[in-house]
A and B are shown apart, each in its own frame.
Chain A
Amino acid sequence: DGGITQSPKYLFRKEGQNVTLSCEQNLNHDAMYWYRQDPGQGLRLIYYSQIVNDFQKGDIAEGYSVSREKKESFPLTVTSAQKNPTAFYLCASSAALTLGSPLHFGNGTRLTVT
């Protein structure tokens, strides 16, 4: 079955450490996204990529970095520069950045930094 796999489901880190969240898709989608969701709030875009080796900052990119070396993979690194990294992180993909393409989401990674 095609889908988006995020790992791990839960991640715990000490403050000051960088951490990388994995996102893999086998939907053959061109576009991939990273969102952050805080309790009781909507989705905020961190980064997105429309094509391999290219990505753009979203609304809250500071303290995060990404890479897109393969079409299937779009890992997110939460760096120590991110002030409030504890959140629910969602990876998504879509067929293309067109008006009609819905986003499909992975199951999310819940990151806790203490």
Chain B
Amino acid sequence: QKEVEQNSGPLSVPEGAIASLNCTYSDRGSQSFFWYRQYSGKSPELIMFIYSNGDKEDGRFTAQLNKASQYVSLLIRDSQPSDSATYLCAVRDSNYQLIWGAGTKLIIKP
């Protein structure tokens, strides 16, 4: 059973600080990795995706991928109250199927 694991949280971070969200996956053959943000009662929206080892930056967001250790993380710099949401990690495995984590609830405290 292929799995994607996330700490359910809630993760509480002061406004202006860096929020760090982590995700581990079991299928070593996985090739692409996605981070989605989901506000309460809303549908998920894509934040960013990453394929290669290392860092990928987009504005205040940085995705980090380490295939050897089988983890992907999302850093949010200068956290804002509007960043409070559940963050879903999704991994496309070696069979092209998308495996979802259960999400981490992030709370940014003013």
Contacts and interface: CB of A to CB of B under 8 A. Distances in A.
Interface of A: 40-45, 90, 97-100, 102-108
B43 A41 contact: no
B51 A99 contact: yes
Interface string B84-108: 0000101010001010111100000
Size bin of chain B's contact surface: 20 to 34
Contacts of B102: 40-42
Contacts of A100: 32, 49, 51
B25 to A, nearest CB: 13
Interface of B: 8, 31-32, 34, 42-46, 49, 51, 88, 90, 92, 96, 98, 100-103
Mostly, the A contact residues are loop
B1 to A, nearest CB: 10
Contacts of A42: 88, 100-103
A97 B95 CA distance: 10
B34 A99 contact: no
A104 B46 contact: yes
Contacts of A103: 34, 46, 90, 98
